[in-house]
Amino acid sequence: MPDCILAMKTRTAAEKARRTAAFERMETEVVSVDPSVTRHGCSVGLRLNCADVEEVTRLLDRKGIVYGDVIGRGGR
Amino acid sequence: MRTIYLDNAATTYPKPEEVLRAASDAMRKAGGNPGRGSHRLSNAAAELVFDCRTAAAELFGAEPERVVFTMNATHALNYAVKGLAEAGCHILIDNYAHNAAYRPVAGLADAGLAEYDIYDASGDEDEIIENIRSKLRPDTRIVLATHQSNICSHILPIETIGHFCAQYGLHFIVDASQSAGHLPIDLHRMNITALCMPGHKGLFAPMGVGMLISAPDVRYNTILEGGAGIHSLDAVMPEELPERLEAGTLPLPAVAGLLAGIRFVRRTGLQEIHLHECTLTSELTDRLSVLGGVTVSGESVGSVVGFRVNGYSPAEVGAHLASRGICVRTGYHCAPLAHRTVGSFENGSVRAGVSYFNKMSDIHALTGALAELGRK
């Protein structure tokens, strides 16, 4: 299953999202996002299994953690 | 000669051993720049920073992303005052305020950007609320309170003031420089908008880190801009806390030490710490009262005792104590408003500040050295 990247507003929000997901046994990773994708320069995202996107975003909504779009496959 | 450290209101010493270890380990094992990359060392540093935000949030009843690291309490208070003030607004500040709180407010007024009044916070809860109410204006936006004075152990009823501020829709800024790590503080329950504190006092961190802990949905104007590790093509700081207020690299070793210090405080217990400090300051107060020629300024049971010795200036008393290896602080303690309030404005006072690591023998050594002055 390919990885997806969920854009996050800040590094702190990304870390909170990672820990929140980990608490629910969903593995994610905080990664840098290619600046060409965001047009804002350096950005961070949450790399996760594409199959988990719906469940993770539902969880983040429930916890009030703001996230952006799913911006496709990502690297480090 | 044994050194007896009673200047803990300036900075705590010694620090718990785990604080020293944590600060050192941060440089040895997590040496990356937190939030500036996603390689292993940067991630390790960022996780450590988030651990500290979480620990602080748990101790002070807030959310981790509302914990902003600053250089110190002064930096946090400048942010709170100048970041929340609206142009031309009116601010109320208490008469125990340290210059770290007073000068940012007075600075805004001096620049014609705000007006302020000082309310008397020396009475009981009802009197303090009435004093605040009597000075409220339609354009009042901020009430600032010094949780505990830095020249005596006077404590303001911040929960009551917080509820009052919530009723009137006012921002409530609390200077917790002398209370964080000594007294319970809950941002949510006490309706605090902005809680400001140093790391290096009651939380036992190394110098170089403080915190501005903020209520949800409060927006600050920035007073310091720069790299935030995110959205680097934008000309302005990001909207979201904490990154909005954290321009530049964080002091990772100090943050790591702060995390260890917070854990030490939580493990030891605020009640245990406060009880120990009250036991010491109560003994000091009793002994000063029988020395003769010593005047205690303001409340003295807590963590800070201010006093004067007849016939000697505070500086002379401090020099005598220093010659006996006893470290205290003399003068005005950057708190002219407070000295005026407790009646020690003329020359200031001698301040003894205790911490959890002081022993009763330290108090006895202090009063023994003071007794020598009476025999001179």
Distances (CA, A) of B246 to B204, B226, B234, B251, B298: 22, 8, 15, 11, 37
Q: Which chain B residue has its CA at the smallest distance from A66's CA?
A: B240
B102 CA: distance to closest CA in chain A (Å): 32
Q: Is A76 a residue whose pLDDT tops 60? A: no
CA distance B33 to B293: 55
Q: Which chain B residue has its CA at the smallest distance from A32's CA?
A: B38
Q: Is B34 a residue whose pLDDT tops 80? A: yes
Determine contact, residues B324/B5, Cβ cutoff 8 Å: no
Q: Which chain B residue has its CA at the smallest distance from A11's CA?
A: B35
Q: Is B181 a residue whose pLDDT tops 80? A: yes
Q: Are strands B210-214 and B304-309 parallel, antiparallel or unpaired?
A: unpaired
CA distance B328 to B40: 45
Comparing A34 with B94, the larger pLDDT belongs to B94
The arithmetic mean of pLDDT across residues B339-364, rounded, is 97
Q: Is B343 a residue whose pLDDT tops 80? A: yes
Q: Which of A3-7, A30-34, B97-101, B105-109 has the lowest mean pLDDT?
A: A30-34
Q: In what order do the strands lie in the sheet with A43-49?
A: A28-33, A43-49, A3-8, A67-70
The arithmetic mean of pLDDT across residues B306-330, rounded, is 97
Q: Is B207 a residue whose pLDDT tops 70? A: yes
Q: Chain A residues with CB inside 8 Å of B47's CB? A: 15
What are the pLDDT digits (tens) for B356-374? 999 999 999 999 999 999 7
Domains of chain A: 3-70 (3.30.70)
Q: Do A42 and B243 touch (CB under 8 A)?
A: no
Residue B229 has what pLDDT? 87
Q: Is B154 a residue whose pLDDT tops 90? A: yes
Residue A75 has what pLDDT? 45
Q: Do B64 and A66 touch (CB under 8 A)?
A: no
What are the pLDDT digits (tens) for B45-87? 999 999 999 999 999 999 999 999 999 999 999 999 999 999 9
Q: Is the peptide bond before B14 cis (omega within 30 degrees of 0)?
A: yes
Burial bucket for residue B233 (CB in 10 Å: 0-12, 13-18, 19+): exposed
Band (pLDDT 50/70/90 cuts) for residue A1 is low
Least CB–CB distance from A42: residue in B34, B53, B230: B230
Determine contact, residues A18/B64, Cβ cutoff 8 Å: no
Q: Is A72 a residue whose pLDDT tops 80? A: no
Global confidence as pTM? 0.96
What are the pLDDT digits (tens) for B91-105? 999 999 999 999 999
- Give B142's strand partners: B91, B171
Residue from B65, B68, B234 whose CB has the most chain A CBs within 10 Å, to mutate: B65
Residue B62 has what pLDDT? 97
Residue B9 has what pLDDT? 98
Residue A73 has what pLDDT? 55
CB neighbourhood size of A65 (10 A)? 20
Q: How far is CA B19 from the centre of its chain?
A: 19
Q: Which fold has domain B269-375?
A: Aspartate Aminotransferase, domain 1 (3.90.1150)
Q: Chain A residues with CB inside 8 Å of B37's CB? A: 32
Q: Chain A residues with CB inside 8 Å of B230's CB? A: 9-11, 40-44
DSSP B33: P
Among the listed residues B196, B215, B206, B218, the one whose alpha carbon sits nearest the alpha carbon of residue B69? B196
Q: Where are the domains of chain B?
A: 17-268, 269-375
Band (pLDDT 50/70/90 cuts) for residue B213 is very high
B206 CA: distance to closest CA in chain A (Å): 23
CA distance B353 to A32: 46
What interface predicted TM-score (ipTM) does this complex get? 0.88
Band (pLDDT 50/70/90 cuts) for residue B376 is low
Burial bucket for residue B26 (CB in 10 Å: 0-12, 13-18, 19+): buried
Determine contact, residues B310/B350, Cβ cutoff 8 Å: no
A9 CA: distance to closest CA in chain B (Å): 7
Q: Do B233 and A66 touch (CB under 8 A)?
A: no
Q: Chain B residues with CB inside 8 Å of A35's CB? A: 232-233
Q: Which fold has domain B17-268?
A: Aspartate Aminotransferase; domain 2 (3.40.640)
Comparing B261 with A72, the larger pLDDT belongs to B261
Across all residues in chain B, what is the average pLDDT?
A: 96
Burial bucket for residue A26 (CB in 10 Å: 0-12, 13-18, 19+): middle
Comparing B37 with A54, the larger pLDDT belongs to A54
- Does the fold of domain B269-375 match that of domain B17-268? no
Intra-chain end-to-end CA distance of chain B, in Å: 21
Q: Do A30 and B38 touch (CB under 8 A)?
A: yes
